[in-house]
Amino acid sequence: MNNSGIPVSGSSNSRKLAAALTLLIAVVAAALLYLNRPGSLVLTDEESGREIARYRVSEGDTFSIGFIHSVNKSPVTDYYEIRRDGIYVVKTVYYGFGAGVQTELEEGQKLEYGEDGSMIITGFDRRMDDLIYFVGTVSDHTLTLNDREQISLRDLCGRNAKVRFRYEK
């Protein structure tokens, strides 16, 4: 009310607007926290379904799987990125051709050569719904998380294990 006893509606509308803005800010903050919450990179035994390991990851984190190619006996490393809706292959690096090694570029892909003689293919940008590796018997497969932590899949899973990788939010 103003001094003359007449109700002033602007004050009530201001409070309603402030309450609505506060609620909107709270909803947006909760949504951002939900979307950016950490998830897990989960490794399971494909045969039994048993969970082998779980690593905390967030959107934008990367991991790679490195191994020695069984035919040409040279290193291969596949690189992946965690995105909101799953695991995406982003790059592969190898040093020699052999069975199962990419020999042709697909649309959007690019081949570059590293100073060490490696062949680097980028531009995959493909979600991997069924990312499965067979852990080597002759040479190990190594999981590297965010270019830091290295994990022997042979030690973790055993030789000849069929390991499925999935992202769980």
CA 145 to chain centre: 10
Question: Do both 75 and 152 map to the same domain?
Answer: yes
Identify the pLDDT of residue 31.
47
Judge if 23 and 48 occupy the same domain.
Answer: no
Residues 36-90: tens digit of each pLDDT: 568 999 999 999 999 999 999 999 999 999 999 878 888 999 999 999 999 999 9
Does residue 146 sit in the same domain as residue 76? yes
Segment of 1-15, 18-32, 88-102, 137-151 carrying the highest mean pLDDT: 137-151
More confident residue, 42 or 32: 42
Do residues 98 and 132 both lie within one domain?
yes
How many other CB atoms are found less than 10 A from the CB of residue 69?
19
Q: Does residue 4 register a pLDDT over 80?
A: no
pLDDT category at 7 given cuts 50, 70, 90 is low
Same domain, 7 and 64: no
> What is the average pLDDT score of the chain?
85
Q: From residue 20, give the alpha-carbon distance in Å to each of 13, 17, 25, 27.
A: 10, 5, 9, 11
Both tokens assigned to 152: 């022997």
What's this model's pTM, rounded to 2 decimal places? 0.76
pLDDT of residue 24 exceeding 70: no
72 and 135 in a single domain? The answer is: yes
Q: Do 26 and 77 share a domain, yes or no? A: no
Query: Do 65 and 92 belong together in one domain?
Result: yes
Angle at 43 between CA 99 and CA 93, to 5 degrees: 35
Tokens of 35: 């979307």
**112/148 same-domain check:** yes
Residue 106 has pLDDT above 50, yes or no: yes
Indicate whether 67 and 101 sit together in one domain: yes
Cα gap 38→155, rounded to integer Å: 26
Residue 143 burial (CB count, 10 A): 22
Give residue 26's domain range: 1-35
- According to the model, what pLDDT value does residue 108 have? 92
Total domains, the chain: 2
- What the block records as the tokens of 133 is 């590796």
**Same domain flag for 54 and 20:** no
Closest alpha carbon to 74 in 106, 100, 35: 100
Strands of the sheet with 141-145, listed across from one edge? 110-113, 119-127, 86-94, 75-83, 62-68, 141-145, 149-152
Residue 2, pLDDT score: 55
Give the pLDDT of residue 103.
77
The mean pLDDT of 8-12, rounded to a whole number, is: 62
Distance separating alpha carbons of residues 165 and 53, to the nearest angstrom: 10
Shared domain for 123 and 76, answered yes or no, is yes
Q: What's 148's DSSP letter?
A: T
